[in-house]
Amino acid sequence: MNKELVILFLSWITCLFLLIKFIPKEKKRYFQIIFLVAHATAWIVQYIQVNIRVVSFPYREFEHATKMSFSLYYLVLPTFAVFFMLYYPEKKNWMRVLIHYLLFSNAMHLYMFLVERHTELIHDINWHWWFAVSIDIFILYLVKTFAFWFRKGFK
């Protein structure tokens, strides 16, 4: 078994364990919506990145179907978004919210950086840290905006 497959397998196991273990049972539906919105947003961003050739995915799960990575943007990034919303500091000052955004966007990019550095899952062609973190902040902001809008219907 090659290391790309091992990394993907461990990522799936870890993400599924974290989602099952730490999401409260009474809020599972709400976080499923957050997961799906993060998934859809991440796929759109990934599609743009691949088409403008700033990132490529030499090792893909569905190599004949798409040029994009399935696991990294189907499970890993949405899992980060779910935990971003689970621990989002509502009713806190703007500095705490900014730190929360920076912490999660840098954690997402750190994971992608380590995967890119040690495997053939991602190859950054013309991709910079500050641009990747900015994109991650944008995705998290869209997810947060949708989640708050969606939650208004529950009240």
Give the model's confidence band at 145: pLDDT under 50 very low, under 70 low, under 90 confident, else very high.
very high
Residue corresponding to tokens 């500095």: 95
Distance CA 155, CA 152 (A): 6
In the predicted model, what is the mean pLDDT of residues 132-145?
A: 93
- Burial tier of 13 (Cβ tally within 10 Å: 0-12, 13-18, 19+): exposed
pLDDT band at 114; cut points 50, 70, 90: very high
Radius of gyration of the chain (CA): 16
Question: Band of the pLDDT at 132, cuts 50, 70, 90?
Answer: confident
Distance CA 123, CA 125 (A): 6
Mean pLDDT of the chain: 90
**70 with 61: CB under 8 angstroms?**
yes
pTM for the whole thing?
A: 0.91
2-11, 60-69, 97-106, range with greatest mean pLDDT: 97-106
